[in-house]
Structure 1
Amino acid sequence: MQKPDAKLGRDLILDYVREAGIEYAFGVPGTHEIPLIDGTTLPENEMSYIPCLHENIAVGAAMGYARMSGRPGLAIVHITPGTANIIDNLFNAYRSNIPVLVLCGQQHSDLLIHEPILASDLVRTAGQYAKWAHEVRDIDELPVVLQRAFKELTVPPLRPVFLSIPWDILLQRPTMPDTGRFTRIAHAVTGDPTGIAAAAETLARARNPVLLVGDGVGEAGAWPEIERLSYLLGAAVYSENQASRMNYPNNLPHWQGELMPTQEGVHKQLEDFDTIFQVGVNSQAQILVFRWQDGPILPAHLTQVFLHNDPWEIGKNHYAEVGLLGDLKATLPAVIAAVEEHESYAAAAASARNTSIEALDIRRDAAFAAAADEFPGAAGKPIPDYQVPMVFAQVQETLTKPVTVVNEDFAVLPAIQKAIQYDHPDAYFCTSGGALGFSLPASIGIALAVGRERLVVTIVGDGSALFHTNSWWTTRKFELPVLYLVMNNHEYKTLMTGLRNIEKLYDWQPANEAWYLRLGRPSQDFAQIAATFDIDGEVVTDGRKLREAIERGCKVVEGGRPYVIDILIEPGASAPPTDLMLTDKPGVDAEWAQQLWSMGPP
């Protein structure tokens, strides 16, 4: 029998949300969710409801909020259409290890057997991209469901949880009262001593080791430990491809950028090394094409050592000589100490490798400076896409606030990662999923999470921006200070590059000109689109005016308002000088160097 003094189901849900420290719920209103949304308006729940115009925007915003706040994000969506609409960013959150709680309103419990309008098996739809998915069947199981959901949201691997809740349960009262508290698991566990010793021995004996860092490094805040290890070993540091964080300080000489998204490219980058230490790597197969006859994704000669807090990721695709399970920040110091003390550790050889790496970095910095000096050139000259982040980096030096960059222009990713300076791993946000349409939604949650403490800059391609320009409705409604740099070349540049690579790999030509990969006419004026949402902006067609436009935009954003700059960039493949490449080693010729700048997600 229900107790009359027990809380309603919706209030019980919000008790858990408040206990988790979640400040915002993002959503698109549906009839079934009205009681829950109404609960967010009560002062005692200490949260705000942020309406969006599409469910994928809501989940993207929750994703951005979760990453920047360090707490789970919350999205409230509506039955089958809402669940279908969130798949892109639910997938992005799942692949990027971002904890988002999706609460989906379901039809009335007693009606479900009749297959009513809009109803479906929501758990089956969303479940493959959730750490746990469940449909609540009775008001009295709700406390157990919520306790389990929040426990899973706060312990690695950090991934989304999806709950389908029949709307009548929101207005029922459970038989037993509940505290609204959930189990928090202390998970900073140091790796097994035997594994630490084995890892240290393998690394100490390596002739030419390399570090491959993944999002687990940024999640653990392990920059200092990786920096110390890279100098200790004299090891270059690569990142997993399309990382969602900045997993190593990009102003340090050992940073070499991300692995290429091609099998042959990865082989060229790693062929000179003998041992690879994969630390917190989640995305191990971010390539366009795989051929069994060409060997494994990582060169077969590499001795592989893994450290991760998720056993699934250790040796998942490759045999690991050493597999070490443990919290990265707690375990790395023990590995470092064991390497230093190992009898096979050769300090002189590591020092020589460091000297070579530092010399390469000096040449790269000189190349970047030279390229910056050459821009903008003569009037009417097209704006190369890679120059936009380089110009922003110049403006960054004059800013009083630190910068958070949201990146959804994969074609110019290396310049965004190298030129702009980042003060911590989450100062850079991308997604490992690669589903387009995340940056404009994510910037909503990011701006709410960082408040006025940081300057939020979203760099997005025109094709990606068109997925969700309706995000600007929410941005303007809540006066969220975000600077949007829209890279407008009237085409899907990464797809054009992908086509060129398919042509090369398979000696194949399309039957007709690939007009469908170009946006063409009607052309888009993103400043004009932003104006329909009452957001100020401008169009830049002349490189000589780019810096002053970015400076103007930064001032508007620092004043607390959003601003959109539509930058007409050179169509086709921009050709940065080969010296700007983040690798400079035998076997990487100019053609391969250009691909490092132009390859987007598969």
Structure 2
Amino acid sequence: MRGRRVLMESFVSHGVRHIFGNPGTTETPLLDSLPAFPQLEYIMALHEGVAVSAASFYAQASGRVTVANLHVAPGLGNGIGSLYGALKAGSPVVVTAGQQDTRMRLNNPLLGHDLVAMAAPVTKWSVQIERADEIAPIMRRAFKVATDAPQGPVFVSLPIDVMEQETAVDASPPDNLWRSTRPDPAGIEALVALLLKSKKPAIIAGDDVARSGGEQALVALTEAVGATVWFEGLRHHAPFPTSHPSYRQSLPGDARQVRKALGDADLVLLIGGPFFEDIWFAPGGHIPGGASVLQIEASAERLALNNRLDAGIVGDIAASVSALTDAVRAKAGADFRQAAQNRNAALAELQAKEKEAYRARVEKSWDRQPTAMPRVTAELRRGLPDDVVIVDESITASLDLARAFDYRGFGDYFGGRGGGIGQGLAGAIGVKVAMPDRPVVAISGDGSAMYAIQALWTAAHHKLAIVFVVLANREYRILKHNVDVWRQNFEAGTQHPYQNMDITGPTLDFVHLAAGMASRRSGSRRPTTLPVPLQRLSRRSGRTSSRSQSKASARA
């Protein structure tokens, strides 16, 4: 059989259902094989960055490995930024790209380059298939490496002539692997001993808590020890219910501010994340002085990588947290249990005060012009159903968004990792493909939206019912904030206007941009874009129907 058939059968045998891609000439062997494999749906994007981000978010939302198919050197270059985001997010994506005929490699063919070297810095493994007999074993290894903890993208270069070679090596079935490990009982004992000595414990929950289905296990542990729960600054998921009294907020972007947020915590438990991804340098560590540091990870690679530990264990996240909770309950004395209850009660009182303060903030800003973000997010919450999935790239509006919405756990929230913008609109494509029965809303800043505006065409083309909300403040506001921080940190001594950070002259018209990628005809099944100036939104209570919401793209 030909190599391209082995490639497609490898996809099918490993459970791939969708290929997110942007077509090109060297991808012809894959594209022309699609009719013979109707179980594989090709999700067409108009830019490789959109394809990779959509695949990354699909992998996160579905929990299954998927494929993104790019086009030779320029196409792979277009996707590198999104590949970086997928690597930081730990998304199990097999990224392929067509390569020029290997018989031309000494002639520097058009669009040719060393694809393996290009992809290597932003993937777990990067390889080129040199002969058709390698297709099956390389694809088997690619899926294995992508799903090994910590998960992440791999890259496979597919020369067009190799795809047309004959081979007798059939596609390999997936490996039956049981990777989840039980935590070492001695390690659990060590963690418990330190927890029971703590007077003010804090937990920092990473994305792997949500991916492991460990949210409720973490709730049980938190309540058993009376701990606060914090999120990483940039996160892909909500690993703990944000309406719970123990939830605090996302941590800031430098060590000094992290220490300030954690306050007088005497123990910090890190669970399921890289910890810590700073934006700014600040002297000192992230952990308050004198506090014990514990960690639970699914792989030894992350354990004690960035932080010295007093105790750490490797094991399945949900199982390890549950085992830790059981051991705490079994060994905690009456004094500790009472102290934990007191801490929980104090956190509930603090939460009530913060909610009241936020309600006052919303009310105070309600009639402000232009529309204030607290009102924007409050109106969005009142107009959306309870089972809505939020894909968030609101950036400077993210704090208000987090106050307005309660995320119960996995599936309610998806954000971007790595800090590169343009993931939100594209990511919503992957989330909707993975979760077709839930309403999906993408909330993006205008600067971020312009990095991946082509995603609107893909949503229309595949008839994906997604609400895209663009918060158009006509500036890179986060950069202005960062300029202020830079001026303070480095005592720059400059006070002149911000340089090249306004998105004006001309002003972007997102309604017309969207209309150019989707039909506006009444009754069309494709997304319709309507201007919804938020200052005109009603203050009435109740919810807008999901049908009318699916036809709106808001401008703030």
TM bucket, shorter chain: over 0.9
Q: Does residue 519 of the first structure (1) align with residue 503 of the second (2)?
A: yes
- Give the 3 Å change call, closer, same or farther, for CA 352–74 of structure 1 in structure 2: same
C-alpha contact 1:41 1:49 (8 A) present in aligned 2:
no
Task: Name the structure 1 match of 2:299.
Answer: 310
Q: Tell me the CA shift for residue 533 of structure 1.
A: 1.3
Task: Name the structure 2 match of 1:474.
Answer: 458
C-alpha contact 1:11 1:39 (8 A) present in aligned 2:
yes
1:269 to 261, 265, 268: 261
SS in 2 for 1:312: coil
SS in 1 for 2:239: coil
Task: Name the structure 2 match of 1:359.
Answer: 349
SS in 1 for 2:222: helix
Q: How many residue pairs align between the two structures? A: 547
Task: Name the structure 2 match of 1:454.
Answer: 438
| C-alpha distance after superposition, 1:145-187 (max 9, x if no partner) | 01111122233211001000111121122133x2431213211
Q: Which runs of 5+ in 2 are unaligned?
A: 519-526
SS in 1 for 2:373: coil
RMSD: 2.1
Task: Name the structure 2 match of 1:505.
Answer: 489
C-alpha contact 2:264 2:288 (8 A) present in aligned 1:
no
Task: Name the structure 2 match of 1:24.
Answer: 18
Hey, what's the Cα distance between the residues in 2 that align with 1:45 and 1:151? 24
Q: Tell me the CA shift for residue 134 of structure 1.
A: 0.6
Hey, what's the Cα distance between the residues in 2 that align with 1:179 and 1:88? 31
Q: Tell me the CA shift for residue 198 of structure 1.
A: 0.5
Percent sequence identity over matched residues?
Answer: 27
SS in 2 for 1:485: strand
C-alpha contact 2:389 2:439 (8 A) present in aligned 1:
yes
The one-letter code of the counterpart of 2:287 is L
The one-letter code of the counterpart of 2:16 is I
Hey, what's the Cα distance between the residues in 2 that align with 1:517 and 1:493? 8
| C-alpha distance after superposition, 1:208-240 (max 9, x if no partner) | 110110011011110111101111111000011
- Give the 3 Å change call, closer, same or farther, for CA 542–156 of structure 1 in structure 2: closer
TM-score after normalising by structure 1:
0.87
SS in 1 for 2:150: coil
- Give the 3 Å change call, closer, same or farther, for CA 147–522 of structure 1 in structure 2: same
SS in 2 for 1:537: coil
Q: Tell me the CA shift for residue 328 of structure 1.
A: 0.6
C-alpha contact 2:238 2:408 (8 A) present in aligned 1:
no
C-alpha contact 2:532 2:553 (8 A) present in aligned 1:
no
| C-alpha distance after superposition, 1:47-84 (max 9, x if no partner) | 12122111101111111221122211211111110111
Hey, what's the Cα distance between the residues in 2 that align with 1:511 and 1:403? 43
The one-letter code of the counterpart of 1:201 is A
Q: Does residue 536 of the first structure (1) align with residue 528 of the second (2)?
A: yes
- Give the 3 Å change call, closer, same or farther, for CA 237–490 of structure 1 in structure 2: same
- Give the 3 Å change call, closer, same or farther, for CA 540–119 of structure 1 in structure 2: same
| C-alpha distance after superposition, 1:354-389 (max 9, x if no partner) | 1110100111222233334445327xx221123322
Q: Tell me the CA shift for residue 22 of structure 1.
A: 2.0
1:259 to 251, 275, 283: 251
Hey, what's the Cα distance between the residues in 2 that align with 1:552 and 1:12? 49
| C-alpha distance after superposition, 1:290-346 (max 9, x if no partner) | 13xx31133342210000012121111110111101111111121112222235671
Hey, what's the Cα distance between the residues in 2 that align with 1:286 and 1:546? 40
TM-score after normalising by structure 2:
0.94
Q: Does residue 463 of the first structure (1) align with residue 431 of the second (2)?
A: no
Hey, what's the Cα distance between the residues in 2 that align with 1:190 and 1:234? 25
Hey, what's the Cα distance between the residues in 2 that align with 1:41 and 1:495? 47
Task: Name the structure 2 match of 1:323.
Answer: 312
- Give the 3 Å change call, closer, same or farther, for CA 423–181 of structure 1 in structure 2: same
Hey, what's the Cα distance between the residues in 1 that align with 2:76 and 2:453? 20
C-alpha contact 2:256 2:284 (8 A) present in aligned 1:
no
SS in 1 for 2:537: helix
C-alpha contact 1:263 1:290 (8 A) present in aligned 2:
yes
Hey, what's the Cα distance between the residues in 2 that align with 1:171 and 1:75? 20
Q: Tell me the CA shift for residue 45 of structure 1.
A: 4.4
Hey, what's the Cα distance between the residues in 2 that align with 1:116 and 1:225? 55
Q: After the TM superposition, which residues 37-436 of structure 1 pair with which residues of structure 2 at under 5 Å, given as runs?
A: 37-42=31-36, 44-176=37-169, 178-282=170-274, 284-291=275-282, 294-342=283-331, 346-374=336-364, 376-377=366-367, 381-396=369-384, 399=385, 402-436=387-421
